[in-house]
Chains A and B, each alone.
Chain A
Amino acid sequence: MVYIQSIVKGIRDFLAETGQLAFFAGRFFKEVLKPPYEFRELLRQCYQMGNRSLMLVLVTGFIIGLVLTLQSRPTLIEFGAESWMPNMVGISIVREIGPVITALICAGRIASGIGAELGSMRVTEQIDAMEVSGTNPFKYLVVTRVLATTLMLPLLVIFGDIIALYGSALIEFLKGGMSFQLYFNKVFDALSFGDFIPATTKSFFFGFVIGLVGCYKGYYCKKGTAGVGKAANTAVVMASLLVFFVDFMAVFISDIFYEL
């Protein structure tokens, strides 16, 4: 009985949270169009987002390219399909692995960072101070950050994709003697425009949910330092879950388009 009650409570909390997040998103769309626009703060945020996660994305991308290639080589050799390596790696990285891994890294790095930053601003009354001094804190803090993650994530994905392909090409060069040029020619032969569009589109959505969740958790942070830690923590969990959800929806929708 107790078990069922806690499940019911869990579901109810989840639905309430989803509703509040949707409301928060609605407020974002309402405020993003209204002047005055905070361009300077937007640029500063874009720079910070990129700066904070670029290195991590590059290193992870490179390693993923290496590992993916190393681990699939024996199987492909067994089937005599070694020369298909660039096609396989290219498609899986550009369509799926690149965007999702980059988004998860950013969920860990950026969503938690925003959650903690806005959370501590809430707790120390900095957000109240902004409001009192005539600047709309939602516009200044939330709108700029959500826009920044939405714009920057696709860029980070592109960098991550490229370096992952380099990692893969390096293994092919060392183990199979394939030249970098041949490798990349094969990759671009295998990829069509139809692979880039859904991948880039969903990257925008990944960026949007990451920024939105980070801001939501920070903006409504509970008082006390424990609240800040919790805001950062739950922001990562919620952002990662939403990344998978968005990914699922994106695959589902693009699948419908492929069948047409």
Chain B
Amino acid sequence: MEPKIKHSSPVVPPGGRKEMIRIRDLHKRFGDNHVLKGFSLTLHEGESLVVMGKSGSGKSVMIKCLVGLMEPDEGSVEVLGKEISTLGQSELDELRSDIGFLFQGSALYDSMTVRENLEFPMRRHAQKLGLGKDTLPFVLEALENVGLAHAIDLMPVELSGGMKRRVALARALILKPKLIFYDEPTSGLDPITSKEIIELMRSIQRKYGTSSLIITHDVDCARVISERILLLVEGINYAEGTYLELSGSSDPKIEAFFKK
């Protein structure tokens, strides 16, 4: 195993910002397939951190451990100061209302209209929004943020891939989460649509100041959106730094990510 490189200069966050996520020494196996072998990560308040890794390196597994969809075999996963594995169902649901999750394939409910898709997260968390029965203003605001207010009554099958991704983004943001996780926000989209999605992510970031964790292997996406990049190689956090630092590295494993 090669030594772990830390590009440590400007990675230290200014003024000790609050830690939103803290993963320490995460291990996850599926039978003989040892996917994560001691992965660690910290995300600070208001920061956007990009995690890059090859296909099958366990990025989705890592992000699923963060929201309690998978249980880690070893290690600690703290989100907003709470250790996920110690939470009961209702505490976990409570915590999840502070997290927006954009799934890799959008994961819109295909038996529901766009409006019902957006209303779904509000079923359990209406009181958090401090609003009664009338959810329409929230749905409209979320759709306007992604420029799709006219699509409110369409079914997911009637939407293009890019529109689906935007609706999914609106759905992830509807509860005004403190944290948002993007699992490959641009995968399967053409370069122009990808750019639009990235722009949307940035504008949302500016508007609501959410902290974001972005998983991607799209170099353009990483360049535009990241304050800090973390490379996941062979189950561990192999290197960490800004886009400029990492893309200038001469380590072959790091270079492989940024070669065009």
Contacts and interface: CB of A to CB of B under 8 A. Distances in A.
Contacts of A132: 67, 69, 96, 99, 101
Contacts of A131: 69
A17 interface: no
Given A128-B64, A129-B101, A134 B96 contact: yes
A126 B105 CA distance: 9
A128 B124 contact: no
B107 A133 contact: no
Given A128-B64, A128-B69, A129-B101, A134 B107 contact: no
Given A129-B103, A133-B120, 4 more contacts: A121-B109, A129-B109, A132-B69, A133-B123
Contacts of A125: 103-105, 107
Contact of A128 (B93, B97, B103): B103
Contacts of A128: 64, 69, 103, 107
24 contacts: A117-B111, A124-B105, A124-B107, A124-B110, A125-B107, A126-B108, A126-B109, A126-B110, A128-B64, A128-B69, A128-B107, A129-B103, A129-B107, A129-B109, A130-B109, A132-B69, A132-B101, A133-B121, A133-B123, A133-B124, A134-B93, A134-B123, A134-B124, A135-B120
Contacts of B67: 132
Contacts, number: 45
B108 A134 contact: no
B195 interface: no
Interface string B69-111: 1000000000000000000000001001101010111011111
A123 to B, nearest CB: 9
B125 interface: yes
A124 B109 CA distance: 9
Contacts of B69: 128, 131-132
Contacts of B109: 121, 126, 129-130
A126 to B, nearest CB: 5
Contacts of A130: 109, 120
Contacts of B103: 125, 128-129
Interface string A105-129: 0000000000001000100111011
A100 B214 CA distance: 53
Contacts of A121: 109
Interface residues of A, number: 13
Interface residues of B, number: 22
B161 to A, nearest CB: 13
Contacts of B123: 133-135
B59 to A, nearest CB: 14
A130 B103 CA distance: 11
Contacts of A135: 120, 123-124
B125 A134 contact: yes
A178 B48 CA distance: 82
A134 B97 contact: yes
A70 to B, nearest CB: 43
A125 B164 CA distance: 14
A134 B121 contact: yes
B105 to A, nearest CB: 5
A134 B67 CA distance: 11
- 8 smallest CB-CB distances across A and B, nearest first, come from A133-B121, A134-B124, A125-B107, A129-B107, A134-B93, A125-B103, A132-B101, A126-B107
Interface string B198-236: 000000000000000000000000000000000000000
A16 to B, nearest CB: 16
Q: Which of A117, A125, A135 has the most CB of B within 10 A?
A: A125
Interface in B124-147: 124-125
A71 to B, nearest CB: 43
A46 to B, nearest CB: 15
A157 to B, nearest CB: 27
Q: Which of A121, A130, A132 has the most CB of B within 10 A?
A: A132
A28 to B, nearest CB: 17
Contacts of B111: 117
A128 B66 CA distance: 13
A73 to B, nearest CB: 48
A133 B125 CA distance: 9
B82 to A, nearest CB: 16
B20 to A, nearest CB: 17
Nearest to B105: A124
A133 B64 CA distance: 13
A38 to B, nearest CB: 10
A121 B107 CA distance: 8
Nearest to B181: A132
Contacts of B99: 132
